[in-house]
């Protein structure tokens, strides 16, 4: 794959910043976007192959302008990494409509907006690959992930549908579904919760979040290996697959769900497939 020029959203911390560092070390050119691009420059320093741009992902014009700057400076946009987002973990009933809509606006519509800006350039150059960052919670719904899972399930479904629309255009798309990695995802800079409103949920919810706080920085996944794995996929002759699960825990959760789906389907198969018009 051609992979010289990367465009990354959410690049000021976590996976995004780590990707920027590794790509520059490997000789790639990177457009790194964030609401706080100065943090990227402070962390990495000045680099001729780095263009750090301030972006609000809800503003399509800002994204269009940034994509144009990318192509004007580096000549192409080879790989788009939709990485920006934050975690929203709480009970559904205690989550406000405003909180849910904001989570979709940043995590889901931000991904759509960035992709919408990149596709015209990729179609013109007849090449490109898009990585969208979902989550294993975009394939398996766990307690207290209802809002976040809804966003990431939507991201996964959108990616799959878009992959068919891009067939024949020499543009690929992959939806990454990570498990737990030792980033700042479970910290206040990357995850939000909600307000304690309903006592019926309190006991189980508090136990869950107490356990989650102890889990922070104890996750199984190594962020360095994660970034190396994704970058290495772009060096292969074959394009990366649509569905990419990362981490042992992600594979376990996915395999358990596949087995459950198979069991549920088999349980009702005879009746459920006998509903056709005679």
Give the tens place of pLDDT for each residue, 194-243: 888 999 999 999 998 888 777 677 788 899 999 999 999 999 989 999 99
CA dist., res. 191 & res. 188, Å (int): 5
The CA-atom distances, in angstroms, between 109 and each of 26, 64, 147 are 31, 15, 14
Give the tens place of pLDDT for each residue, 103-158: 999 999 999 999 999 999 999 999 999 999 999 999 999 999 999 999 999 999 99
pLDDT score recorded for residue 278: 87
CA dist., res. 125 & res. 172, Å (int): 13
Domains and CATH numbers, the chain: 5-272 (3.40.50.720)
Q: Where are the alpha helices (DSSP H) in 140-198?
A: 146-165
**Integer-rounded Cα radius of gyration of the chain:** 20
What confidence category does residue 44 fall into, taking pLDDT thresholds of 50, 70 and 90?
Answer: very high
| Both structure tokens of 65 | 């302008």
């Amino acid at each position: 794959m051609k992979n010289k020029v990367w465009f990354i959203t959410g690049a000021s911390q976590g996976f995004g910043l780590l990707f920027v560092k590794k790509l520059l070390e490997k000789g790639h050119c990177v457009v790194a976007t964030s609401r706080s691009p100065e943090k990227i420059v402070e962390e990495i320093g000045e680099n001729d192959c780095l263009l750090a741009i301030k972006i609000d992902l809800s503003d399509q014009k800002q994204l269009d302008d940034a994509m144009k700057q990318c192509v004007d400076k580096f000549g192409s946009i080879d790989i788009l990494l939709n990485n920006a987002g934050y975690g929203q973990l709480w009970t559904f009933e205690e989550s406000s409509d405003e909180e849910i809509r904001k989570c979709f606006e940043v995590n889901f519509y931000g991904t759509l907006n960035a992709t919408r800006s990149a596709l015209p350039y990729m179609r013109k150059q007849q090449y490109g690959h898009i990585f969208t960052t979902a989550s294993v919670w975009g394939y398996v719904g766990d307690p207290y992930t209802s809002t976040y899972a809804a966003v990431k399930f939507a991201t996964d479904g959108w990616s799959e549908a878009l992959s068919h629309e891009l067939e024949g255009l020499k543009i690929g798309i992959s939806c990454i579904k990570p498990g737990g990695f030792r980033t700042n995802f479970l910290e206040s800079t990357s995850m939000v919760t909600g307000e304690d409103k309903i006592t019926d949920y309190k006991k189980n919810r508090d136990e869950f979040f107490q356990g989650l706080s102890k889990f922070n920085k104890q996750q199984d996944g190594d962020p360095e290996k994660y970034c190396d794995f994704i970058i290495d996929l772009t060096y292969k002759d074959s394009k990366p697959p649509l569905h990419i699960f990362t981490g042992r825990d992600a594979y376990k959760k996915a395999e358990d769900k596949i087995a459950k789906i198979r069991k549920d389907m088999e349980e009702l198969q005879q009746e459920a497939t006998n509903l056709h018009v005679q």
